[in-house]
Structure 1
Amino acid sequence: MTERWLLALATAFAAFAAVNAWRSLLGGHRSRWTLPLLGLTFIAQLMALGLRGEMRGACPLSDPGEILAFLSWSLVLFYLMVGPTYRLSLLGLFTAPLVVILQLIALIPELMTPNPPHVESTDAWREAHAALSVLSFGSLTLAAVSGIMFVILDHLLKEKKLTGNLFNNLPSVHNLIDSTKRLLLIGLVILTIGIVAGFLTPNLGFNVHLVVASIVWIAYAVLVSLAYVRGLPPHKLAFSSVVLFLVSIFAFGIL
């Protein structure tokens, strides 16, 4: 089975997870299949990226399709890490559809190079910089998703639009804001290591990419410090995580 078919299989699993999560929500009960389906998604993604890495002879982050596939994998990874811990199975309501969209784009032939050339030699610091930078955005993306869920859920609670089984099966706003803080911290730590690896990469220099990455790191460092040291109101933390993520994606997108 080729890497494209494995990625398509992962997309199908994620689509089933998304449909199941939304059906469960509308039915007023907690989904038991979202987590297992995203677990299967993760396995298929890992196999696809592994094959792609063997073809490249390097970390599969050399074209837009590979970057999107890697980001999708990191999203599912952090969902599997954080979701069960905080009983946030319905976080899959937003995570699974986002994974489907990213991977459908990644599967566009023009974005993922067929039969990519095999790299003869690689630099460990450069590989670490690329992999950890994208991996960190998996955590930061999920933090933004969790922030969006908090804003929506808090609004529905204030409007008293949640009652009965639906209310009982939704995650608490306290768990959502805790998961947002945890994901921001994890993302910041990984991004820190990735930026350090970038500075240690021979002949890379202090280029525009590293300048933007450093600015993004400073912004997230300030947000995480305020959240953990000074304390931020939940609304401000959730809103800031979403805005900062969107600004970061825009900044890297125009590079």
Structure 2
Amino acid sequence: MREVSKEGMGGGVDRWFLILAALFTAFGGVMGMLTLKHGRRSRWTLAWMALGFVCLSGFLWVRGEARGACPLVGSGEILAFLAWSLTLFYLVIGPTYRLSLLGVFSAPLVTAFLVGALAPGMWVNDPQRVEGTNGWQETHSAMSVLGYGGLALAAVAAVMFLVLDKQLKDHHLTSGLFRNLPPIRELLISIRRLLWAGWLVMSVGIVAGFRMPHGQDVHLHLLAALGVWLGYALLIGVAQFRGLAGRHLSIGAVGLFIVSLSVFVFI
């Protein structure tokens, strides 16, 4: 992504929102892991993630006011928006399906996104206003990254499935992690629903992408997003109509997420 401005590395309100969000999610993840180590579930991970979400929402609001548009200019803002969308999906899906450990597994990924967003070369200290915004382009960018947050959470749930599957095969049936992980069937249902949810939201972004003005850079980004969309469509289609073992579906969800992450960060 092309950066608008890279003047200075000092902090502003928006930067402190990201720092606080990173601290909240990191603390929630660490405390959750320590609690899990003693064979108990962390009841506070949801609260720490919710605090991180509030800070991320504050960042998007402040940054959006400065940009005069959806804050998705440059890799740093994309990573922050991705962290926000992943956390949003967790707050909706986790408590609904009683996947309390999803926050413990999600927190490190959210924290990594935020640390990356704040890294030198990623962070833009003096954001400039975006001129000539287009509604279709804004919708394409926002819905594509929002949908990718759901796909990221599907990858997190897939990691949980693979961990549980390995513990079952190794007969580690008395460990604290095994006792607190949800049933393997519930994890599979959640992975499928998250893949569908993320893919459908991304589909809205793809449709909007074809309606927006197409410059050379925009054309490249749209093609990359379309490639990600088609990759997930293939995975979902095979799982839906041909059937995939839970392990293969989980490996596919994790692998496709890792490969496609470069689309939103480096292209």
TM-score, shorter chain, exceeding 0.5: yes
Query: Quick one: which of 242, 253, 263 aligns to 1:230?
Result: 242
Shift of 1:253: 5.1
Paired residues of 1:57 and 1:118 also in contact (CA < 8 A): yes
Distance 2:265 2:81 in 1: 16
What CA distance in whole angstroms lies between the structure 1 residues aligned with 2:27 and 2:265? 30
TM-score (norm 2): 0.89
TM (norm. structure 1) is 0.93
Q: Do residues 201 (structure 1) and 183 (structure 2) align?
A: no
After superposition, the Cα gap between the structure-2 partners of 1:56 and 1:197, relative to the gap in structure 1 and judged at 3 Å, is same
Match of 1:85 in 2: 96
- For residues 159-200 of structure 1, the C-alpha deviation after alignment (integer angstroms, 9 at most, x for no partner) is 111316543322221121111111110111011111111110
Aligned to 1:49: 60
Partners of 2:164 and 2:175 lie apart in 1 by 15
Unaligned runs of 5+ in 2: 1-11
**1:27 equivalent in alignment to 2:38:** yes
Superposed CA RMSD in Å reads 1.8
- 2:244 is paired with a residue whose SS is coil
In 2, the alpha carbon distance for the partners of 1:171 and 1:212 equals 35
User: Secondary structure of the equivalent of 1:83?
Assistant: helix
**Secondary structure, in 3 states, of the residue corresponding to 2:214?**
coil
Distance across 1 between alignment mates of 2:114 and 2:22: 6
> Aligned in 2, Cα 1:25/1:129: closer, same or farther, shift over 3 Å?
same
Aligned to 1:68: 79
Q: Is residue 3 of structure 1 aligned with residue 14 of structure 2?
A: yes
- The Cα shift of 1:137 comes to 1.2
Tell me, what secondary structure is at the counterpart of 1:69? helix
**Aligned pairs (5 A) from 1:109-188:** 109-163=120-174, 166-188=177-199
Question: What is the CA-CA distance between 1:2 and the residue it aligns to?
Answer: 0.5
> For the structure 1 residues 166 and 120, does the alpha-carbon distance in structure 2 shift closer, same or farther, using more than 3 Å as the test?
closer
Provide the aligned length of Structure 1 versus Structure 2: 255
Does residue 192 (structure 1) correspond to residue 203 (structure 2)? The answer is yes
- Give, as a single letter, the amino acid of the residue that structure 2 aligns with 1:131: A
Aligned partner of 2:6 in structure 1 is none
Work out the CA distance in 2 between the residues paired with 1:209 and 1:120: 19
Compared CA separation, residues 75 and 161, structure 1 to 2 (3 A): same
Of the three residues 226, 232, 239, the one matched with 1:214 is: 226
Q: Deviations over 1:28-78 (max 9, x none)?
A: 011100011101110110011100000110000102111111111111011
The 8 Å contact of residues 198 and 204 in structure 1, kept in 2 or not, is answered as no
- Contact 1:69–1:106 at 8 Å: present in 2 too? yes
State how far apart, in whole Å, the 2-side matches of 1:50 and 1:85 are: 27
Q: Secondary structure at the match of 1:116?
A: coil
Residue 103 to residue 251, structure 1, CA distance change in 2 (3 Å): closer
Supply the distance in 2 between the matched residues of 1:91 and 1:253 (Cα, whole angstroms): 24
Deviations 1:105-156 (A, max 9, x none): 2112532211211234310000111111111111111111111110111110
- Structure-2 residue corresponding to 1:242: 254
Q: Does the 8 Å CA contact 1:78/1:139 hold for their aligned counterparts?
A: yes
User: Cα deviations across residues 210-240 of structure 1 (Å, max 9, x unaligned)?
Assistant: 2232222122112212323333211111111
Please give the secondary structure, in 2, of the residue aligned with 1:84.
helix
- Give the match for residue 17 of structure 1: 28
Identity %: 48
1:58 matched to 2:69: yes
How far 1:103 sits from its partner (Å)?
0.7
**Structure 2 vs 1, CA of residues 251 and 202 (structure 1 numbering), >3 Å: closer, same or farther?**
closer
Paired letter, 1:227? A
Q: Is 2:97 the partner of 1:97?
A: no
State the alpha-carbon separation in 2 of the partners of residues 164 and 251 from structure 1: 38
